[in-house]
Every structure is written in C-alpha cells, then in structure tokens.
Amino acid sequence: MYDYLLKLGTWALLALTAICMISCGAQFNGTTYQLGEKVALITVPINASQINLTLFEKTDNMTLFDESGKNVTFNSSYRFVRGEHIYSLTFARPIKGRLIYTMHLQGQQFILPIRDHVPLRIILPEGFTTGERSLGIARPAPDEFVEDNSGSILTWNNTTQISYIEVNYYRRSAPQALMIIFIILALTGLVLLAQYYISIRRLKDARMEMENEANGNDR
C-alpha cells in the first residue's frame, strides 16, 4: 500500500510539473524527456485523432492534455513485438495538446533509441550536468545546450541521421570533487617519492659507512 501511494504521489507531482510546462507556454515542437532521480517524464506533442507509440520500455502511466491543460480520455491497445512496446491510442476527436507518460531510470546514463525522427529535448535532473569528457558527455553532441540555475537542457533539432542518443551526466560538484581527488593522489605520490628518496639516501650512507669501516680494518 505504501509503495502504491508513493508511486501515485510521484506521478501526480510529475503530471503537475507537465501541466505547468504546458500552461506556461512551452512551445518546443518536439518530444521532451525530463529526467529525474528515478523516473523520466516524457512529453509528446499531439495534433491528431490517433497515434502509435513505439517505446523501448513499458509504461503504465499515460495522460493526455489538450491545449488548455484539460485531461482528455482516450482508448488504447498494447502489444509487445521483438523487444518493443507498441501503444495504439485513439481519441474521440482530433486533439492538439500533450501526451505525458513516465519511464524508470537507472544510474546516471540515459540511452534513447530513435524511433521517430522528430526534434528531441532532454532536461537533466536538477543539480546535474554533462560535457566533461572524463565524467560524461552526450553522443551525438546536441544542437543546443543551455545551462542555468533551473537545469541543463540539451536539444537535437534534426534527428534524421541519428539512430540513438546517449547522455552520461553527473553532479555539478563532480569536477571539483575529482580535482580534489587528483590533488590528494598527487600529494600522496610526492610523499611516497620523498620517502623513497630518503630510504635510498640512507641505504647509500649505510653502505658508504660499512665500506669505510672495512677499509679501516684492512689497514
């Protein structure tokens, strides 16, 4: 029961976020993937009386909103074919609005196979970014990359030549943490090198002392 309420609360929060995006006039004419810590919220623009969606992961949460943000009911069918989840959605009337659904995430890597060659936008979780080669980058490079206090936004305007998109992302504090680790490793290396040098000098001094004693005894 607790898990069900938790999922319900998460979905309600994501749906509220999506409605706010719509009501605020987000005019991006493509599919948006808003990544969270555990769940991604996908927003698909709709201007039709029916659509087919081919997804790489099954989803149980689909909600349709019209231009005014009003919830619209629809009929749907599902089938699983060759590793792909195919949804057929039929609306009672032509709808212009947004279809919203969720998918689960694992780790800090997002791989998206391209099924429909439409503009795509990926919004990273709050506090995360990408672009540092040693920590994680986006492949292929996005056409637009905007980073501000609200988050990092990657946009691909033309996906006709793209088979998949891979985004590896990390916390914004990661480069500083990595630099601190490198500094600690460098200092540790210097200490070990100094200890090695001191040990060699001591061995040389001990050897010279033994040789001097041996020469003295020979006399």
Q: In whole angstroms, what is the distance from residue 214 CA to residue 218 CA? A: 6
User: Is the sign of the CA dihedral 73, 90, 35, 149 positive or negative?
Assistant: negative
Phi, psi for residue 120 in degrees, rounded to 5: -130, 145
Q: Copy the structure tokens of residue 149.
A: 């206090």
Token pair, residue 168, equals 């590896």
pLDDT band for 217, please (50, 70, 90 cuts): low
Element (H, E) at 16: helix 2-23
The pLDDT tens digits for 24-60 are 435 788 999 999 988 999 999 999 999 999 898 888 7
User: What's the mean pLDDT in 195-202?
Assistant: 81
> pTM of the entire structure?
0.72
The per-residue pLDDT for range 67-126, each reduced to its tens digit, is 888 999 999 999 999 889 999 999 989 999 999 999 998 889 999 999 888 999 999 998
Answer whether 48's CB lies under 8 Å from 95's CB: yes
Q: Report pLDDT for 5.
A: 43
